[in-house]
Structure 1
Amino acid sequence: MSYNIALNFEDGVTRFIGCKEGETVLDAAYRQKVNLPMDCSDGVCGTCKGHCEQGKFDLGDEYLDDALSDEEAAEGQVLTCQMVPSSDCVIQVPVASTLCKTQVGKIQGTLAAAEQLSEGSIELAVDLDEGGELAFLPGQYIHIDVPGSGQHRSYSFSSKPGEARATFLIRNIPNGLMSGYLTQQAKVGDRLSLTGPLGSFYLREITRPVLMLAGGTGLAPFLSMLEQLVEKGSDQPMHLIYGVNKDDHLVKVDALDAFAERLPTFTYSTVVVDEASTHPRKGYVTHHMDAEVLHDGDIDVYLCGPPPMVDAVLKHFDKEGIVPQSFHYEKFTPNQAPGEVA
């Protein structure tokens, strides 16, 4: 038996390690050449302290209170030298990845498809090389090198973790570096280099109702999250509000319909900004947050979209006095990695 442990470093890098049954996270990390912070390795100093966001584990009772207090343990703080997982886990490591002598992974793949879904969006599919590992948390992003440019662009996965084919929703920007490549030069079979995963925007364990807010190609990470939720299931209500500027910018609606069929507690609505639209819901996502999806603030909110949308939602929540139990957001600009903004 082996468990998948996601180590999230404070510089946005995520590194996945395998942890054997009965093995501590610290030992597993060192075995895989990830030098997590440590000094005593006996539960005495507290140097290896981190925060477990999700997963099951045992800390034993051989560590000192000076290293980890009962209050800290109750809040999810852990000592990686004492932590023995009994499930997959996600751990926040409060140092940069470079200080742990690890770095973001590099993956090679082959362009399988580049389909223009609408005037404003392209779906890119990449077949990963056999044996190439691509573990990530649903919602995270990756850098993709633009062939021949010496530069990269960053995109959230729309596919489920662990798939041999990774997919991405890419905004089609006139004269954009990646857009230009995909619409004018790309051919099936082109070789692509990817670096990641990255980002602190990802699906946490669901223990209460969830509200997802997507703007444009910010839908991508939610498709990945929903794929995983279909596999794991959830009995909590989940509602997605998906906003776009124009009618023809609404994409992957068939996928959302399929998720609604496979996830009985999932519902979604779409919103179009264009005043000339005949869409039944017009305006912005903030105009369509009914009380029934807000659950009096007893919700986890996930928000991904362009900066004006993210700022508008933040202001709306503040104005209306809405304080979610947890709020995770990511805003992006066309030429900037999502995680580099929020």
Structure 2
Amino acid sequence: MGDKHRVQFEPVDLEMEVDEDETVLDAAFRQGIALMHGCREGQCSACKSFLIDGDVQMARYSTFALADYESDEGYVLLCKTHANSDITVELINYDEEELRNAVPIQTVSARIASITALTSDIVSLKLQTGGRFTHRAGQYAEIRRPGSDVRRSFSMATTPGSPEVEFIIKKYPGGHFSGLLDSELKPGDPLTLTGPYGSCTLRASGEDDGRRVVCIAGGAGMAPILSLLRRLAETGSRRPVVFYYGARTPEDLFYLPEILALGERIRDFRFVPALSHVTEAPWGTLGVTGDLGLVTDVVDRNEPDLSEADCYLCGPPPMVDATIALLESKDVPTDRIHFDKFTTSVS
């Protein structure tokens, strides 16, 4: 371990310890402080903050997440920042309630319970953890094979207290982890689970004031949204909820019966699938009515005013970026746009 320093966060009057060998974000995880974060790989800018005072060093990151001129001005990515002295950091994106109510990071041993194909390229991976893994609805975890350095992050579709932890994973040819789901991995195999991470969680303030929940997802981004819906149904929430889900064709839709069943348990619920690669509406055969086009276009047409909604997003990075731009154009406050954005790792 290296030298230890103090980190003072502004404007929330919060202080913690950091070791030189760990990033500021990892130190926060270790001490149960929920800083805003996304990919944890220096590529998404969710943890971008401003260095007020002190000496730091940043590991390699993408200039798409932090431009050179921003670095010159003093901005840093906390997932890549190592402190060389006591430092003071101004948080740009934060939720003070979330900061102080994090679920501590855990590493537990798990075994594969099942691998089930949901579409031609999306699978459900369920892990048995013996009930030893705690998380909040909407969060994600890191999966690693014992003896391997390959770690991949995936959102969880299950809710706290579920006997199994479910992940919905898109398979990519050559994917460091997903590429193993058709070949090497099988039920009974051991895996290591670390987490939970992510801030795409339900906010208590929204529950208190009845603010509408708007969920927007595509592909395997179904996972955290399904977790949120399951949690809203479990708790008997009375918040209005609409779920827009983008897919290419009807064959790319899955879990429709469960989504509709969850909708029966939520007082005011609407599910709108958006199909981007069909020319004729197939709704009669699906038992649900949606719309045609990219999910962002469907949201744009159906939601003239989102300024009073809590918005939850998950999907491929281009979809998430386009959706954030759309929501900002509709005057959704930044602190009501919740998302985690992942990158794809292939051989």
**Alignment TM-score, normalising by the size of structure 1:** 0.65
Report deviation, 1:243: 0.5
Structure-2 separation of matches of 1:233 and 1:213:
21
Aligned residues: 252
Matched residue, 2:315: 305
Matched residue, 2:128: 127
Task: Note closer, same or farther for the CA distance 1:247–1:148 as it changes in structure 2 (3 Å cut).
Answer: farther
Matched residue, 1:239: 242
Q: CA RMSD in A?
A: 3.2
Structure-1 separation of matches of 2:295 and 2:212:
18
Matched residue, 1:262: 265
Task: Note closer, same or farther for the CA distance 1:289–1:147 as it changes in structure 2 (3 Å cut).
Answer: same
Matched residue, 2:191: 192
1:103-142 aligned at under 5 Å gives the runs 104-129=105-130, 132-142=131-141
Structure-2 separation of matches of 1:333 and 1:296:
28
SS of the residue 2:239 aligns to: coil
1:146-189 residue CA offsets vs partner (Å, 9 max, x unmatched): 35543111111101112121101001111212222211022211
Matched residue, 1:202: 201
Using the aligned pairs only, state the percent identity: 32
Task: Note closer, same or farther for the CA distance 1:91–1:328 as it changes in structure 2 (3 Å cut).
Answer: closer
CA contact (8 A) 2:153 2:342 kept: no
Return the letter of the residue paired with 1:313.
Answer: T
Return the letter of the residue paired with 1:287.
Answer: D
**Alignment TM-score, normalising by the size of structure 2:** 0.64
Report deviation, 1:307: 1.3
1:190-209 residue CA offsets vs partner (Å, 9 max, x unmatched): 11111111112212122311
Structure-2 separation of matches of 1:293 and 1:147:
46
SS of the residue 2:159 aligns to: coil
Matched residue, 1:145: 144
Report deviation, 1:335: 2.9
Matched residue, 1:316: 326
SS of the residue 1:239 aligns to: strand
CA contact (8 A) 2:114 2:187 kept: yes
Matched residue, 1:35: none
Task: Note closer, same or farther for the CA distance 1:176–1:148 as it changes in structure 2 (3 Å cut).
Answer: farther
The worse-fitting range, judged by mean Cα deviation, of 320-329 and 266-275 is 320-329
Structure-2 separation of matches of 1:292 and 1:243:
14
CA contact (8 A) 1:300 1:324 kept: no
Stretches of structure 1 lacking an aligned partner (at least 5 in a row)? 1-8, 18-75, 78-89, 337-342
Report deviation, 1:314: 2.2
